Structure 1
Amino acid sequence: MPSTQHLLLKQLLASATGTLTGKVPKLAAMRLGFEVLSLGQVMPWNVFLEDANVDGMAAEWVRPAAAQAERVLLYLHGGGYVLGSLNTHRGLVGALAQRCELATLAINYRKAPEYPFPAALEDALLAFRWLQKQGYAAHNIMVAGDSAGGGLAFALALALRDAQEALPAAVIGLSPWTDLALPPPVLRRVTHEESQVLEAFEIRGWGPLYAAETPLAHPLLSPVHADLHRLPPLLIQVSDAEVLSDDVVRFANKARAAGTPVTLQVFEGLVHWWHLFWRFVPEARLALDRVANFTHTIWAAQLASKQAA
């Protein structure tokens, strides 16, 4: 049963987006609105920010005081490949970095439609390789992302595998977008279920903006259509009430069948992007705590393997 705080959040989101239903807000207005909403964020205590330049791409280090020296997290924000920035996700990244005790590099990857596929993926690859040039071994890098950023994190791992490059220690997807093709069952949920946020922002138009001339079912656009063998351990969190939940579960089951270690955590009755509201929604804090537990388990398994060797 969702918390009272979450029920209140759901009502506020429904009220805020209800007037947009059936309309198509201009992309510039959506971007501005998201940036304005981000002004109310507060960073967790003892988490520090530092501007970074990743071979010409704007980025930001989010460093908790207790960060491990040799390990790092690469974070890819969500926003349907068209929205979002370092500003919009700073609080979430700070909360995650603090719990995981990891210095976290958040990048401002290029957005569609100005920069369609594969621009975002190229930027994610650039950041991962840049971290290695800074001295971080691939097995000491984790990659995480929410929504479209989660799908992008999976695409990053697929691209590294196909290029026969070293893979990250693990990949974490928070409500990841794994199928831009949006099959008919998903479209029916968008149309008929209580999904005001995604409906108001016209999720059906986001995928084509990013894909441009590339088929939506391309495996680096829609990882659910990829060959999912030989990937690092995956942590996937999703709510059963999300529009994209069926695709996420399908992706997780396919990855397991391919032999990839998958931890799937399904939450009950929560809105998409509930992680963003960690300051006042207890389910969001619980989800982030579970991410931290997963990362600590991965590091412990690495240490045990090294000691046994």
Structure 2
Amino acid sequence: MSKLRRLGAVGLAALVGLSAPAMAQGDDRISENGTVRLDGVEVPLSSFLSEEGREYLRHLIVDKPFGNAVPDIAEERLRQDGIMAAFLKPMRERYAVDIHEDRIGGVVVDVVTPAEGIAPENADRLLINVHGGGFTTGGRSASLVESVPLAALMKIKVVSIDYRMAPEYQFPAASEDVVAVYRELLKSYDATKIGLYGCSAGGVLAAQSVAWFQAHELPAPAALGVFCASLGGYFGGDATMTAGALNGYLPPLDPPPAANGPPPVPGYLDEADSSDPLVYPLSSDTVMAQFPPTLFISGTRSFEFSAALNSHNALARVGVESQLHGWDAMFHGFIYNSDLPEAREAYDIMVHFFQTHLAD
């Protein structure tokens, strides 16, 4: 399977550390305390994790609470929306916001604002979110999980875009939707006062969008957040090889015979060219050199960690300000769980980054 096809196939299950089939029950390579045994080497839970982080990671490794993806896309979207609703409930209790639907540039969006009002210094500032979900799920569900904390903590308006996804649409539909919304918002907000961010597929799309703004002669936003993603897709490097095993997804000891299943859902990037900077900006130093200051968020048990590190270094090589913050033993999309102190630390870093880089 090609890198682009794999990217299109990754859904929100991966956002909670699930990126491979569950192992058989009773596999003694995984202990009840979360220790994973890899060819005789025992890998315990990290000593740097918070108490909540240790317990939640143990839960993910041992209990596999979210199950596996289903082939029917409508059913899978409902399943993923249920997972996101479970993350959103405590988030709404912790962070008071107002949410309303709107249409900007012909595209449906959710507008998230702090319940106590936008801070005076942010009255003419704006954050734009593009949600995760493997370019197939997450619309108006993962989008809220990504938008609520920043809207409340930064006391700023967040516009989250319900962009077109696979299998109904392929690249560049989502980029076109982001450009349409951005172009309309530029009529009311200066680009120097806009931040753009996304998690997982949304992080990839946020980076793609900056390249698309260049191609359409639109000014770059003031700052870019690429969370649990990179400028060149998720995969590559050591983390792709190690993350699944460290999260308890080991090859079955007795593999079942291959079964004929339904054909895979067409991926968003299946027909895209990975050498095109509008797909992966990492492929062009010229495009990257025009990027705004960029913040990467990841974890050492996340399959995109190596790719994020590589992208961070690539931006530095072309003279672009870049920050990478990683948490030991955190998995893909850990920021979706606001009960984790590690996630709340990440929110604070995001807020500080955007507050610092958006113009007054």
Q: TM-score range by the shorter chain?
A: 0.7 to 0.9
CA distance in 2, matches of 1:166, 1:18: 41
SS in 2 for 1:38: helix
**Residue 271 (structure 2) pairs with residue 213 (structure 1):** yes
How high is the sequence identity, in percent, across the aligned residues? 25
Map of 1:16 onto structure 2: 64
What's the CA shift string for 1:266-289, capped at 9, x where partnerless?
A: 2211011111001x1010001001
Q: What's the offset of the Cα at 1:92?
A: 3.3
CA distance in 2, matches of 1:164, 1:282: 40
**Residue 61 (structure 2) pairs with residue 61 (structure 1):** no
CA distance in 2, matches of 1:10, 1:236: 22
Map of 1:114 onto structure 2: 168
| Letter in structure 2 aligned against 1:96 | L
SS in 2 for 1:110: coil
Gaps of 5+ in 2: 1-47, 250-263
**Residue 88 (structure 2) pairs with residue 30 (structure 1):** no
| Letter in structure 2 aligned against 1:62 | V
Map of 1:194 onto structure 2: 247
Map of 1:226 onto structure 2: 284
Map of 2:226 onto structure 1: 173
CA distance in 1, matches of 2:99, 2:146: 13
CA distance in 2, matches of 1:76, 1:257: 27
Question: Is contact 2:113-2:157 (8 Å) kept?
Answer: yes
* TM-score, normalization by structure 1: 0.85
CA distance in 1, matches of 2:50, 2:244: 26
What's the CA shift string for 1:203-251, capped at 9, x where partnerless?
A: xx88x71113222343222232232102111111111221111111111
* TM-score, normalization by structure 2: 0.73
The alignment's C-alpha RMSD in Å is 2.5
CA distance in 2, matches of 1:81, 1:184: 22
Q: What's the offset of the Cα at 1:181?
A: 7.8
CA distance in 2, matches of 1:17, 1:177: 27
SS in 2 for 1:91: helix
Q: What's the offset of the Cα at 1:19?
A: 5.6
From the CA coordinates, give the structure whose radius of gyration is larger.
Answer: 2
CA distance in 2, matches of 1:73, 1:13: 31
Deviates more, 1:171-180 or 1:67-76: 171-180
| Letter in structure 2 aligned against 1:27 | I
Q: What's the offset of the Cα at 1:83?
A: 1.5
Report the CA distance shift for 1:262/1:195 in structure 2 as closer, same or farther (over 3 A). farther
Map of 1:100 onto structure 2: 154
Q: What's the offset of the Cα at 1:25?
A: 4.5
Question: Is contact 1:57-1:107 (8 Å) kept?
Answer: yes
CA distance in 2, matches of 1:3, 1:55: 43
Q: Residues 44-193 of structure 1 correspond to what in structure 2 (within 5 A)?
A: 44-64=94-114, 65-67=116-118, 68-133=122-187, 135-180=188-233, 182-183=235-236, 185=238, 187-189=240-242, 192-193=245-246
Report the CA distance shift for 1:130/1:36 in structure 2 as closer, same or farther (over 3 A). same
SS in 1 for 2:225: strand
Higher relative helix content: 1
Report the CA distance shift for 1:254/1:177 in structure 2 as closer, same or farther (over 3 A). closer
Map of 1:7 onto structure 2: 54
Q: What's the offset of the Cα at 1:119?
A: 0.6
What's the CA shift string for 1:123-158, capped at 9, x where partnerless?
A: 11111112113x111111110111111111111111
Return the structure number with greater relative CO, CA threshold 8 A, min gap 6: 2
Q: What's the offset of the Cα at 1:193?
A: 4.2
